[in-house]
Amino acid sequence: MSAFESYKETTRLLQAHERWFQESIPLIASENVSSPAVREALASDFGHRYAEGWPGERVYAGCTYIDEVELLCLDLVKKLFKAEFADVRPISGVVSNLVIYTAFTNPGDTMMALSIPCGGHITTGKKRLGGTAGAVRGLDVQYLALDYRELNIDVERTEKRVRKLVTEGKTPSLVMFGASVFPFPHPIKELADVFHDVGCTIGYDAAHVAGLIAGEIFQDPLKEGADVMSLSTHKTFFGPQHGSVVSWEKFSEQIKRATFPGMVSNHHLHALAGVTLACAEMLQFGKDYSRQVVKNAKALAQALHEVGFKVLAEHKGFTESHVILVDVTEQGDGGTIERGLEKANIIINRNLLPWDIREGRHFMNPGGIRLGTSEVTRLGMKESEMKDLAEFMKRVVLKGENSATVKHDVTQFRKEYSKLHYCF
């Protein structure tokens, strides 16, 4: 391909992707779409600039307007998360977690978090798995205990593990609550004293649930005992892909220093402007939106259950967040089902079930699929549409219907949902 052909091909691929997603049902729990205003900010001149340092104390000239936007952003983030302190410079959730590790641990320290099959994220993973905490920060990762039936952290067993670590001379210096499969609020309140009594900092990874926390429909980690919280701004939140760390004033200096000069040089100022707009949208529409996200997740889970899927945690209403986890071992494996649904323009992701590794299943072909309702909610879908989605999924996965036929119907269905909701 010549240079110009590659150029044209790239443009064509971008357009093809846009069209495909406009004709699809987006159910990836870590994704969302942002408003036209936010997308415009991403294309602004802010994206060409540097603003190293803190507003008013920059290392570069030309930051007059950037500083004002960042100060607005700090104000809005603090308001939304009821926090004394915020740092909005970390460029992603991963970088936000690295900021926390840098500010609150030393290499060689013990950190506790959920394992990946139990819903944990690669950022809290062990060294041998290449996880950020282990492989990048050199932390010794020990696992929080998960109750498989409740799909939540087991308070008693976790308390025992902490005591055992203390007697082994491996007292944790940081615990990270939060997860990537996160249907129920974590027991921070119940475990806060257990960790604080041994001098352990309590972190909370709100990558997935930031929008639900801001909308006051999930839990309030800082109030419940967390010392510091990391965010992704684009999963249940409204923004473009970015991160942030929120905390208390007493930790402000160590967090600021971990971010810069530690973790960022440029901090994606175009995205920062987008996050600022998204925060304003969240302040205005977040309560309505987050309530509908959770209602939709419950409705989708119920509808899938009724058509014959095995949705986990039925005895407690399936979920209190945007996420649901489905055991598909009766139908095949998560990888094959993911591909089958993709052919019908239904975009979901395969996911490990907590007991998969023990039962010999691998991440490529796990026993589960994970679904999230943030994006379909922003597209204006409500409980009755969740029944339509369950029906489409049934036709592909349970009835084995030709994916081209279902794809055609999905494309028709999506035409009614082309406008973005919950924005100015």
Q: Which residues bind ligand PLP (CB under 6 A)?
A: 30, 92-94, 97, 121, 123, 178-180, 205, 207-208, 232, 243
Task: Please identify, using beta-carbon distances, which residue of 338 and 385 lies nearer to ligand PLP.
Answer: 338
Q: How far is the CB of 186 from ligand PLP (least distance, A)?
A: 11
349: left (phi over 0), alpha (psi -120 to 50) or beta: beta
Q: In whole angstroms, how close is the CB of 70 to ligand PLP at the nearest point?
A: 19
Those residues with Cβ within 8 angstroms of residue 200's Cβ, 6 or more apart along the chain or in another chain: 112, 162, 171, 172, 173, 174, 175
Q: What's the min distance (Å) between Cβ of 208 and ligand PLP?
A: 5
**C-alpha 58: how far from chain center:** 30
Residue 124 or 345 having the CB closest to ligand PLP: 124
The three-state secondary structure class of 322 is: coil
Q: Which residue's CB atom is positioned nearest to ligand PLP?
A: 93
Reported residue count of the chain is 424
Which helix or strand (DSSP H or E) is residue 205 part of?
A: strand 201-205
HSE, side-chain direction, 13 A CA sphere, residue 230: 32
Q: Using the structure block, give the residue that is written with the tokens 């100022």.
A: 269
Nearer to ligand PLP, 30 or 173 (CB): 30
Smallest gap from Cβ 114 to ligand PLP, in A, equals 9
CA gap 381, 384 in Å, rounded: 8
Angle of CA points 111, 371, 397, to nearest 5°: 130
**Across-strand partners of 86?**
246
Q: What is the bridge-based pairing of β-strands 172-177 and 201-205?
A: parallel
Rounded Cα–Cα distance for residues 197 and 211 (Å): 31
The type of residue at 84 is E
* Residue whose CB is less far from ligand PLP, 234 or 394: 234
CA distances to 91, 143, 246, 255, 360 from 115, rounded to whole Å, are 24, 6, 24, 25, 16
Judge whether 230 and 207 are in contact, CB under 8 Å.
yes
Residue nearer to ligand PLP on the CB measure, 96 or 403: 96
By C-beta, is 70 or 205 nearer to ligand PLP? 205
CB of 179 to ligand PLP, least distance (A): 5
Give the separation between CA 90 and CA 92, rounded to whole angstroms: 6
Of 46 and 237, nearer to ligand PLP (C-beta) is 237
DSSP-derived letter for residue 203 is E
In the complex, the smallest distance separating the C-beta of residue 405 from ligand PLP, rounded to whole angstroms, is: 34
Provide, rounded to whole angstroms, the least separation between the CB of residue 88 and ligand PLP.
13
Measured from the CB atom, the residue of 205 and 227 that comes closer to ligand PLP is 205
Minimum distance from residue 204 beta carbon to ligand PLP (Å): 10
Closer residue to ligand PLP, CB minimum distance, 81 or 413: 81
Q: CA–CA separation, 124 vs 221, rounded Å?
A: 18
**CA 57 distance to own-chain centroid:** 31
What would the two tokens of residue 241 be? 């892909």
CB 244, min distance to ligand PLP, A: 10
- Point out which residues pair with 142 in neighbouring strands: 112
Q: What is the 3-state secondary structure (H, E, C) of 329-343?
A: CCCCCHHHHHHHHHH
Choose between 191 and 344: whose C-beta lies nearer to ligand PLP.
191
Least separation, in Å, of the C-beta of 30 and ligand PLP? Answer: 5
Q: Looking at beta carbons only, is 356 or 385 nearer to ligand PLP?
A: 356
Question: Can you spell out the DSSP letters for 146-174?
Answer: EETTTTEE-HHHHHHHHHHHHHTT--EEE
Cβ at position 243, least distance to ligand PLP in Å: 6
